[in-house]
DNA sequence: AATTTTGTGATTTTT
DNA sequence: TCACAAAATT
């Protein structure tokens, strides 16, 4: 049976799906049937018959999206009984590059071997911590954090250490040294980080012409979804993969770029693409099938405030007007949560709305807290979507560490984790000695322990521990490193390994303790078993034979897992979903509450500080994304009260921009007190307590519990008292809890800069922060 | 080595 | 405020 593209799609979608332009740009607004169009375009390309489907690469933003597109393509093709020799590669940039690197990395770089693994975020943190120690920085200091940021920044821009000048006269340049050391540590551990996956791919393709030619012939068509959130290296990589015969089709919406902080550059879709491919054709999709016109009007109105954008107005399919957008105002954050909970309960009970048809979307994670408190009171089932991934849990990470040392014997961080779960009494000193012994034998630490466990010099207890570890490891290693073992055998042997090293036993104990404490979290042992299950499934899945895929193996599993986030698909349970705006991208719900529409929360105070107005535009795009998630009814909610630095909460400027004129909510019965004398009272109380501490040894305000030391007035001073009333002038003296006394040298609306004239130097402090106060002029 | 106390500082997060 | 990490304590 043939697919009737014209019947299945609207005019715009039809054009986009069936265009034979070599270079095609589809500008697809929210809810305009982008995925549907893409799936049909894939089918169209497959049916066109001039290319093998396996020569098509479709790039998605997340693994979840890749999975969905794969499923929909298969479904479409099979529902029409179309026979195909294979399927397109549908994956993220990172997965695609990894596929490439597994074939090419060792040919181009010495220092890595075939068993390289990926350094995840925790690994990265550990490496930076190690560098801080080596270079005598405090890892948590703002200075060092700034350096780490600079390294990250350089990497997202695609820079390598060689590209940067190490100018040691410039103190800010220290980061280059940190960068260099970081790359050394990664190489020592035979690891790549996420950025390296892209950077190395680009470099190999740039330098090796033969290699480039090979892959240019291998792939004929590239499709990129969410192109508005693609960054420059990713774009460069695709261009390197293409010769003049290849086709490129990108899909995106410049108004939905929300990842510029990760390098996304929406100028690519807006201008660069046209410059690079002058014959580029563009199709615009602007008929929205998701939301009612009332919702779209609000969203359109808001996004129109962004300068530097092409005008585009989403129109609702069939001009469906729908219900009015409702603004909710409350006196405080907690009241907001209670109000919305009541509203949801009423929707559920009176209007028969399923909980799972309702979502609460907010700018920042911490805004979920008040709902977590409120929902149980109203017995509303809920889930926070996408916060903690399965593979981030401690027990799963530990299990993975045991697997990683099987594959990559240079991965010392994983070995350290193995030493900790369960505890094996190996501290710094023992570790140093072991490292020395290993280097004498010219072996990695893991190899040394596993092969020469009989000759290790250490205390008997440690020797015993390591021997049993090594025996279990070796038994498993023997099986895992064989070619052509059945998946079941591998998984069984790993289960045995987990058991023998005491991993199950250890987490069983943790489970028991948690249970006795009344926690209802899931069982860690079950999660470990789930990990083995995932491995089994992966090993069983047979890959298409497209001569690029390496066979499924433990290594493949580990690489895959590193690229996976929360793969939990939305389960079918009937509960309200809470999530951030970023995570809501691509989802839709009949009822959407946007909570925390408060200036400083959304747009965030960080964005408001950006004088170039770039950040605020991105926040606006984010808000646009959030609003356009709603199908039937959209609620916008703000609250009054005060934030943690005691400023008044005012309605978000986005509400006004979207056409609502609102008054701030201010309670007369605010907990805030302006009476400075209370502050002074508590202050003097505090000092008298401190003075008398030696005499009494008890704090009368803590029910006669013995008190060790009181040195932080910020903890004693109750929250409703603050120094935010203080007016500062240049030259004022400030006393700070941890920095001592300093002098105000400059100020703006929100911050003062204080020179403490000691090792702390100049600090930027938020006005109204309780850890300091004015002493005198 | 585990628990308590103190310090800190406060987006978004995929890969 | 509140959560988390680091430091201090037993």
Q: Classify strands A733-736 and A772-776 as parallel, antiparallel or unpaired.
A: antiparallel
Q: How far is the CA of A374 from the C1' of C2 (A)?
A: 17
Question: Exposure pattern of A736-751 as b/e (b: 16+ CB <10 Å)?
Answer: beebeebebeebeebb
A138 CB and strand C closer than 7 A:
yes
A543 CB and strand C closer than 7 A:
no
Residue A682 is predicted with a pLDDT of 41
Residue A676 is predicted with a pLDDT of 34
A68 SS3 class = helix
A186 SS3 class = helix
Q: How far is the CA of A318 from the C1' of B4 (A)?
A: 64
> Taking a C-beta distance cutoff of 8 angstroms, is the pair A264, A229 a contact?
yes
Q: How far is the CA of A389 from the C1' of B2 (A)?
A: 28
Residues A255, A253: Cα–Cα separation, whole Å: 5
Q: How far is the CA of A761 from the C1' of B6 (A)?
A: 22
> Taking a C-beta distance cutoff of 8 angstroms, is the pair A96, A89 a contact?
yes
Q: Classify strands A358-362 and A382-384 as parallel, antiparallel or unpaired.
A: unpaired
Measuring alpha carbon to C1', the residue closest to nucleotide B8 is: A140
What single string gives the DSSP state of each residue in A510-557?
A: HHHHHHHTT--PPPHHHHHHHHHHHHHHHHHSPPP--SSSPPP-HHHH
Residues A237, A204: Cα–Cα separation, whole Å: 10
Measuring alpha carbon to C1', the residue closest to nucleotide C3 is: A366
A139 CB and strand C closer than 7 A:
yes
A770 CB and strand C closer than 7 A:
yes
Q: How far is the CA of A425 from the C1' of C10 (A)?
A: 20
- Say which nucleotide is closest to residue A718, CA to C1' distance: C1
- In terms of Cα–Cα distance, which of A214, A181, A239, A182 is closest to A107? A214
- Say which nucleotide is closest to residue A259, CA to C1' distance: B12
Residues A375, A384: Cα–Cα separation, whole Å: 12
CB within 7 A of strand C (chain A, 689-718): 708-709, 714, 718
- In terms of Cα–Cα distance, which of A22, A68, A62, A28 is closest to A45? A22
Q: How far is the CA of A499 from the C1' of B2 (A)?
A: 26
- Say which nucleotide is closest to residue A373, CA to C1' distance: C2
- In terms of Cα–Cα distance, which of A219, A213, A144 is closest to A182? A144
Residue A220 is predicted with a pLDDT of 94
- Say which nucleotide is closest to residue A722, CA to C1' distance: C1
- Say which nucleotide is closest to residue A367, CA to C1' distance: B11
Q: How far is the CA of A707 from the C1' of C10 (A)?
A: 15
Which of chain C's bases lie under 7 Å from a protein CB?
1-3, 5-7, 9-10
Residues A691, A677: Cα–Cα separation, whole Å: 21
- Say which nucleotide is closest to residue A125, CA to C1' distance: C5
- Say which nucleotide is closest to residue A334, CA to C1' distance: C1
Helix A554-563 and helix A524-540: axis angle, to 10°? 120
Q: How far is the CA of A140 from the C1' of B8 (A)?
A: 9
Question: Exposure pattern of A157-186 as b/e (b: 16+ CB <10 Å)?
Answer: ebbbbeebeeeeeeeeebbbebbbbbbebb
Q: Classify strands A281-285 and A23-28 as parallel, antiparallel or unpaired.
A: parallel
- Say which nucleotide is closest to residue A96, CA to C1' distance: B15
Contacts of A393 (CB under 8 A, 6+ apart): A524, A527
CA distances from A167 to A57, A184, A674 (A): 42, 19, 51
- Say which nucleotide is closest to residue A566, CA to C1' distance: B14
CB within 7 A of strand C (chain A, 617-636): none
> Taking a C-beta distance cutoff of 8 angstroms, is the pair A683, A713 a contact?
yes
- Say which nucleotide is closest to residue A717, CA to C1' distance: C1
A365 CB and strand C closer than 7 A:
no
Residues A457, A466: Cα–Cα separation, whole Å: 11
Task: List pLDDT tens digits, range A477-487.
Answer: 999 888 778 88
Residues A773, A752: Cα–Cα separation, whole Å: 12
- Say which nucleotide is closest to residue A372, CA to C1' distance: C2
Q: How far is the CA of A604 from the C1' of B11 (A)?
A: 7
Task: List pLDDT tens digits, range A137-163.
Answer: 888 788 888 888 889 999 999 999 988
Q: Is the dihedral of CA A211, A213, A216, A217 positive or negative?
A: negative
- In terms of Cα–Cα distance, which of A656, A653, A674 is closest to A605? A653
- In terms of Cα–Cα distance, which of A200, A199, A196 is closest to A119? A196
- Say which nucleotide is closest to residue A671, CA to C1' distance: C1
Q: How far is the CA of A751 from the C1' of B7 (A)?
A: 21
> Taking a C-beta distance cutoff of 8 angstroms, is the pair A604, A628 a contact?
no
Q: How far is the CA of A701 from the C1' of B12 (A)?
A: 41
Residues A170, A590: Cα–Cα separation, whole Å: 55
User: What number of other Cβ atoms are within 10 A of residue A728's Cβ?
Assistant: 16
Burial of A117 (0-12, 13-18, 19+ CB in 10 A): buried
Burial of A440 (0-12, 13-18, 19+ CB in 10 A): exposed
- Say which nucleotide is closest to residue A369, CA to C1' distance: C2
Residues A702, A565: Cα–Cα separation, whole Å: 45
Measuring alpha carbon to C1', the residue closest to nucleotide B4 is: A708
- Say which nucleotide is closest to residue A195, CA to C1' distance: B15
Q: How far is the CA of A744 from the C1' of C3 (A)?
A: 30
Which residue(s) pair with A224 in the sheet? A59, A250
Q: 3-state secondary structure string, A611-638?
A: CCCHHHHHHHHHHHHHHCCEEEEEEEEE
Q: Give percent helix, percent strand, percent coil of chain A, each to the nearest 5.
A: 50, 15, 35
Residues A171, A143: Cα–Cα separation, whole Å: 11
Measuring alpha carbon to C1', the residue closest to nucleotide B11 is: A364
Q: How far is the CA of A340 from the C1' of B6 (A)?
A: 37
A766 CB and strand C closer than 7 A:
no
Phi, psi of A690 (to 5 degrees): -60, -40
Residues A188, A444: Cα–Cα separation, whole Å: 10
Residues A651, A661: Cα–Cα separation, whole Å: 9
Measuring alpha carbon to C1', the residue closest to nucleotide C1 is: A644
Residues A324, A769: Cα–Cα separation, whole Å: 41
Give pLDDT < 70 ranges for chain A: 1, 387-389, 516-521, 542-551, 565-572, 667-727, 733-741, 748-751, 756-761, 763-777
Which of chain B's bases lie under 7 Å from a protein CB?
1-2, 5-15
Chain centroid, CA A129 distance in Å: 20
- Say which nucleotide is closest to residue A562, CA to C1' distance: B15
Q: How far is the CA of A743 from the C1' of B8 (A)?
A: 22
Q: How far is the CA of A694 from the C1' of B5 (A)?
A: 18
Q: How far is the CA of A449 from the C1' of B2 (A)?
A: 29
Contacts of A609 (CB under 8 A, 6+ apart): A615, A750
Phi, psi of A659 (to 5 degrees): 105, 10
CB within 7 A of strand C (chain A, 715-754): 718-719
Cα end-to-end span (Å), chain A = 86
Q: How far is the CA of A541 from the C1' of B9 (A)?
A: 46
Contacts of A618 (CB under 8 A, 6+ apart): A257, A258, A260, A261, A607
Helix A487-500 and helix A460-480: axis angle, to 10°? 170
Contacts of A85 (CB under 8 A, 6+ apart): A52, A53, A54
């Amino acid at each position: 049976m043939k697919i009737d593209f014209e019947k299945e799609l609207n005019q715009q979608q039809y054009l986009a799906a069936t265009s034979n332009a070599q270079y095609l740009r589809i500008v697809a607004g929210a809810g305009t049937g982008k995925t549907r169009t893409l799936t049909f375009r894939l089918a169209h390309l497959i049916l066109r018959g001039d290319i093998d489907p396996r020569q098509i690469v479709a790039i998605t933003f997340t693994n979840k999206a890749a999975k969905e597109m794969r499923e929909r393509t298969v479904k479409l093709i099979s529902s029409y009984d179309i026979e195909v020799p294979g399927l397109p590669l549908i994956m993220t940039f990172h997965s695609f590059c990894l596929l490439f690197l597994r074939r090419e990395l060792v040919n181009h770089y010495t220092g890595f071997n075939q068993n390289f693994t990926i350094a995840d975020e925790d690994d990265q943190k550990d490496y930076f911590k190690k560098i801080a120690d080596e270079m005598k920085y405090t890892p948590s200091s703002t200075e060092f954090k700034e350096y780490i940021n600079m390294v990250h920044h350089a990497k997202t821009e695609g820079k390598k250490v060689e590209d940067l000048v190490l100018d040691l006269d410039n103190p800010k340049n220290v980061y280059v040294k940190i960068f260099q050391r970081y790359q050394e540590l990664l190489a020592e551990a035979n690891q790549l980080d996420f950025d390296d996956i892209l950077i190395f791919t680009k470099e190999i393709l740039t330098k090796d012409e033969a290699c480039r030619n090979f892959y240019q012939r291998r792939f004929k068509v590239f499709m990129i979804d969410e192109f508005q959130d693609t960054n420059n290296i990713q774009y460069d990589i695709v261009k390197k993969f293409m010769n003049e015969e290849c086709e490129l089709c990108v899909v995106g919406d410049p108004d939905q770029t929300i990842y510029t902080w990760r390098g996304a550059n929406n100028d690519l879709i807006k201008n660069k693409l046209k410059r690079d491919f002058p014959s580029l054709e563009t199709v615009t999709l602007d008929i929205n099938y998701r939301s009612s016109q009332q919702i779209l009007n609000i969203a359109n109105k808001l996004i129109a405030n962004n300068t530097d954008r092409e005008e585009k107005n989403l129109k609702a399919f069939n001009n469906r007007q729908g219900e009015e957008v409702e603004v909710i105002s409350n006196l405080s954050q907690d009241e907001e949560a209670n109000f919305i909970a009541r509203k949801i309960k009423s929707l559920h009970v009176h209007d028969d709305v399923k909980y799972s048809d309702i979502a609460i979307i907010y700018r920042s994670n911490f805004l979920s807290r008040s709902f977590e408190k409120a929902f149980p009171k109203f017995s509303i089932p809920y889930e926070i979507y996408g916060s903690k991934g399965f593979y981030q849990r401690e027990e799963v990470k530990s299990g993975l560490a045991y697997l990683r040392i099987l594959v990559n014997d240079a991965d010392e961080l994983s070995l350290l984790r193995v030493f900790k779960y369960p505890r094996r009494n190996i501290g710094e000193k023992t570790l140093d000695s072991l490292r020395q012994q290993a280097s004498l034998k010219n072996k990695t630490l893991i190899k040394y322990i596993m092969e020469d466990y009989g000759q290790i010099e250490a205390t008997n207890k440690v020797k015993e521990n390591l021997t049993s570890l090594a025996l279990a490891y070796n038994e498993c290693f023997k099986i895992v490193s064989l070619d052509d073992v059945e998946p079941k055998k591998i998984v069984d042997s790993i289960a045995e390994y987990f058991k023998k090293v005491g991993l199950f036993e250890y987490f069983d104990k943790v489970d028991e303790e948690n249970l006795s404490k009344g926690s209802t979290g899931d069982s860690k042992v079950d999660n470990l078993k789930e990990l083995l299950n995932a491995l089994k499934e992966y090993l069983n899945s047979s890959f298409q034979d497209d001569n690029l895929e390496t066979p499924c193996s433990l290594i493949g599993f580990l690489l895959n897992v590193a690229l996976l986030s929360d793969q939990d698909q939305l389960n079918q349970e009937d509960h309200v979903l809470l999530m951030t705006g970023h995570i809501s991208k691509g989802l839709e719900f009949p009822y959407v509450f946007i909570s925390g529409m408060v200036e400083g929360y959304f747009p965030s105070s960080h964005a408001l500080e950006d004088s170039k107005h770039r950040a605020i535009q991105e926040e606006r795009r984010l808000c646009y994304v959030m609003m356009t998630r709603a199908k039937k009814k959209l609620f916008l909610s703000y609250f009054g009260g005060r934030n943690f630095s005691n400023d008044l909460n005012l309605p978000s400027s986005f509400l006004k921009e979207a056409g609502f004129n609102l008054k701030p909510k201010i309670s007369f019965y605010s907990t805030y007190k302006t009476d400075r004398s209370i502050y002074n009272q508590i202050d003097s109380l505090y000092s008298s307590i401190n003075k008398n501490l030696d005499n009494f040894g008890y704090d009368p305000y803590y029910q006669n519990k013995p008190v060790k030391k009181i040195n932080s007035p910020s903890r004693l001073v109750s929250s409703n008292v603050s120094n935010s009333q203080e007016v500062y002038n240049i030259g004022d003296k400030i006393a700070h809890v941890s920095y001592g006394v300093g002098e105000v040298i400059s100020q703006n609306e929100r911050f003062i800069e204080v020179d403490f004239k000691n090792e702390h130097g100049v600090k930027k402090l938020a006005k109204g922060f309780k850890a300091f106060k004015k002493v005198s002029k």
